[in-house]
Chains A and B, each alone.
Chain A
Amino acid sequence: MSQRSTGGGAIVGSFEGGGLPPDDIVVGALRDGDEAMFAALLDTWSRGMLRVARSYVSTDHSAEEVVQDTWLAVIDGIDAFEGRASVKTWVFRILVNTAKKRGVRESRTLPWSAFERDGDVFADLGAAAQGARVDGASGWPTPEGEALAAEVRVLIAEALGRLPPRQRVVITLRDVEGCTSDEVCEILEISAANQRVLLHRARTAVRGWLADYYESVKQPE
């Protein structure tokens, strides 16, 4: 999972393996007004930022505004950046805080604290996921065919939308965007154990939905 294409443009590609240079270089370049560097960050991280924002707000449009406001805050704040966290963590923390505020304002999502008991929400949503534990453990077709892969992509996107918000953010950052667990803990300010529990519940639920899907593909009624 460490190698993931960033989907970025040519500028990102010009950095080795699609990776960004070390933080001190990034920060120096941004402070010097290096547009190519800013564009590289924009193109590398905005994709993950849009997905994360969507965990908190109701529409694609809101998510994009959250990402936009985040970048504006980054532009404003880069001179004051102290380097206590990585640039990426710093940017994503601004994003999460911006998205939370926006989400609360929209009254579409509940405050973060309302999801402390994710387990209960999971029990409702994940009945199929858990029930399928043994019976559903049959072989899955390899998603080689493009049509199947495309369907699975859609299913995954829907599955993410059905997860409780805390689980959704964690699995999005970890498994969709390829962040490390340390990064996720720092961005969300949660413990490693908590992060692991949320990630595991999310993966278990998504596996269950995938199992249901493969089951339905195999034996249409």
Chain B
Amino acid sequence: MKRFIPETRAVNVVKRFTCDELAELLTAYLEDALDQPSRDGVRAHLSCCEGCGRYFDQFRTTIKVLGDQPPEKLSAPVRDRLMSAFRNRNRHHHDPDRRS
């Protein structure tokens, strides 16, 4: 994926977005799915709009805390059952009638 730093390119085309439009583009922006004028427009807006800057921070914080869910596991009996089903498959590997 290409990522340009705007300052290193001569860019004249920068799209302008309202705050509402900007909010709708954040996932696309984070996924690097915007064309360059739009991407530059998002950056330009974020750099000078305090409210959207905070909103963007919150958006990223949201994504971060989503990734912080506690791990969960299969219960031990189910895990044991699956391990023995796997073992069983192995044992009857060439038996066409294998099936628990």
Chain A residues within CB distance 8 Å of chain B: 1, 4-7, 33, 35, 38-39, 42-43, 46-47, 50-51, 64, 67-68, 71-72, 75-76, 133-134, 137-140, 143, 149, 152-153, 156-157, 171, 175-176, 178, 181, 192, 196, 199-200, 203-204, 206-207, 210-211
B68 touching A64, Cβ below 8 Å: no
Interface members, chain B 7-32 (any A CB < 8 Å): 19-20, 23-24, 26-28, 31
B66 x A149 contact (CB < 8 A): no
Residues in B with CB closer than 8 Å to A64 are 74-75, 78
A42 to chain B: which residues have CB within 8 Å?
74, 79, 82-83
Query: If the complex has contacts A33-B86, A76-B89, are A47 and B65 also in contact, measured as CB distance less than 8 A?
Result: no
Across the interface, do B81 and A68 meet the contact criterion of CB distance under 8 Å?
yes
Q: Which residue of A lies closest to B28 (CB)?
A: A196
User: Given the complex, which residues of A lie within 8 Å of B55, measured CB to CB?
Assistant: 133, 137
* CA A7 to CA B72, docked complex, whole Å: 8
**What is the predominant secondary structure among interface residues of chain A facing chain B?**
helix
* B59-A203 in contact (CB<8A): yes
A206 touches B62 (CB 8 A): yes
Q: List 11 A-B contacts (CB under 8 A).
A: A33-B86, A35-B90, A42-B74, A51-B69, A68-B82, A72-B82, A76-B89, A137-B55, A143-B61, A153-B65, A192-B33
The DSSP consensus for interface residues of chain B is helix
Question: Across the two chains, which residue of chain A brings its CB closest to B62?
Answer: A207
- In residues 85-100 of chain B, which contact A (Cβ within 8 Å)? 85-87, 89-90, 93, 99-100
Q: Which residues does chain A contribute within 8 Å of B83, judged by CB atoms?
A: 35, 38-39, 42
Which B residues are CB-close (under 8 A) to A1?
63, 67
Shortest Cβ distance from residue A39 to the other chain B in the assembled complex, whole angstroms: 7
Q: Tell me whether B24 and A171 are in contact (CB under 8 A).
A: no
B87 to chain A, nearest CB (A): 7
Q: How close is B73's CB to chain A, nearest CB, in angstroms?
A: 7
**Is the Cβ of A46 less than 8 Å from the Cβ of B51?**
no
For B75, what are the chain A residues with a Cβ–Cβ distance below 8 Å?
64
- What A residues does B33 contact at CB under 8 A? 192, 196
Chain A residues with CB under 8 A of B20: 133
Quick check: A200 and B51 within 8 Å, CB to CB?
Answer: no
Tell me, in angstroms, the Cα distance from A1 to B91 when the chains sit together. 40
- Contacts of B93 on A, CB cut-off 8 Å? 33
Question: Is the CB–CB distance between B65 and A210 below 8 Å?
Answer: yes
Q: Are B65 and A75 in contact (CB under 8 A)?
A: no
B86 touches A206 (CB 8 A): no
A211 CB contacts on chain B under 8 angstroms: 58
